[in-house]
Amino acid sequence: MADSLPAGARLFLPPYMLERIASAGSNHLRECARHTLVVDQQFRARAGAVILPQGSVKRGEPARYVHSAEQQQALPGRLVRGEGEDDSGDPAVDEAYHGLGATYRLFWEVYERHSIDDEGMVLLATVHYGRDYENAFWDGQQMVFGDGDGELFNRFTIALDILAHELTHGVIQHEAALAYVGQSGALNESLCDVFGSLVRQHQLEQSVDEADWLIGKGLFTERVAGRALRSMARPGTAYDDPLLGRDPQPDHMDAFVVTEADSGGVHINSGIPNRAFHLTAMALGGHAWERAGRIWYDTLVDQRLGQDSDFPTFATLTLDNAERRYGAVSQEATAVREGWRRVGVLP
């Protein structure tokens, strides 16, 4: 597929959004978008070059380090805040630090996973990356955040679920290593949205009814006609803006988008499994991270989940894991089956 990424390279904003800005925005916005696309292309060629410091040797305790690139593009940059240190007063630094902690807490307290690799891997982040850089990414070893352009995008640390989304790419990298293309790539993106949303819900102690199920809420400035980058509850409705266009995500297999762009539609078609998870969680009620999230996590770490797994394969595994954990005629298994049926993945 066109523009597929090497292993480990995961960018938050889809390229089609930046390409639209680069062709139709103001002079400043076109320059920012084109610069970001160039930087992203360079990033693809050099992902994974940072030597990581020692992680956490004690289970249940994270090891967090936040650096500032100071508008440059060298990684990891200057160390600004380490594990256990007080707030720095820089919103991007402190949002990154607390976001790393919130993500660690969900995976540890709910699923007993000790960091990204379950072996205490250091949680490393760099903020203030580049100048007017409009993206965030996981490069196979660390998190990197741009400050946005100030017109369309705020700083990329502003939404907790963005940070948790990108860290989940690291978890996937160490488990299923889902190929970042086509349906397996859309599953990769969907799983990151699922756990990104769960981290925020867990942090806010929200029930499924209290959660807004939005991904990237707060990233858009007030100039954008949109609530967030994606909606798990209603894919295709997150934004409808004169410049950015309309949210292209389908919510059913009948509308599956066949394309070579976006690595085969990984950011687009992820709306289908996203909605399946939302339907499952809503049917079960309570806290989504407990039963629905447990089933999805069991499937993520299931050795039967192959790198090239498609939607039906993943759906079948979630159903099997629900039946194994809760019983074949359980409410959980019924909710999973019905969730996937309603998006057209299972019959």
Question: pLDDT per residue over 121-155, tens digit each?
Answer: 999 999 999 988 999 998 888 999 999 999 999 99
3-state secondary structure at position 316: helix
pLDDT of residue 2: 33
* Residues 310-337: tens digit of each pLDDT: 999 999 999 999 999 999 999 999 999 9
Residues of 54-88 as b/e, b for ≥16 C-beta within 10 angstroms?
ebbeeeeebbbbbbbbeeebebbbeebbebeeeee
CA–CA gap between residue 292 and residue 268 (Å, rounded)? 23
Facing residues of 10 across strands?
A: 138
* Stretch(es) of the chain classified as CATH 3.10.170.10: 10-174
pLDDT of residue 43: 61
166, 175, 189, 332: the catalytic one is 166
Is residue 184 scored above 70 in pLDDT? yes
128, 169, 202, 267: the catalytic one is 267
Mean pLDDT within 173-178: 93
Angle between helices 311-326 and 292-300 (to 10 degrees): 120
52 versus 248: the higher-pLDDT residue is: 248
Is residue 54 scored above 90 in pLDDT? no
Mean pLDDT within 216-225: 97
pLDDT of residue 8: 47
Mean pLDDT within 269-279: 98
Assign 3 a pLDDT band (cuts: 50, 70, 90).
Answer: very low
Residues of 294-318 as b/e, b for ≥16 C-beta within 10 angstroms?
bbbbbbbbbeebbeebebebbbbbb
* Stretch(es) of the chain classified as CATH 1.10.390.10: 182-342
pLDDT of residue 1: 31
Is 267 considered catalytic here? yes
pLDDT of residue 219: 97
What is the domain class of 10-174 according to CATH? alpha beta
10 versus 341: the higher-pLDDT residue is: 341
Question: What is the CB-side half-sphere exposure of residue 80 using CA atoms within 13 A?
Answer: 23
Q: Which residues contact 140 (CB under 8 A, 6 or more apart)?
A: 7, 8, 9, 47, 48, 170, 173
Query: Which architecture characterizes domain 182-342 according to CATH?
Result: Orthogonal Bundle (1.10)
Is 114 considered catalytic here? no
Is residue 239 scored above 90 in pLDDT? yes
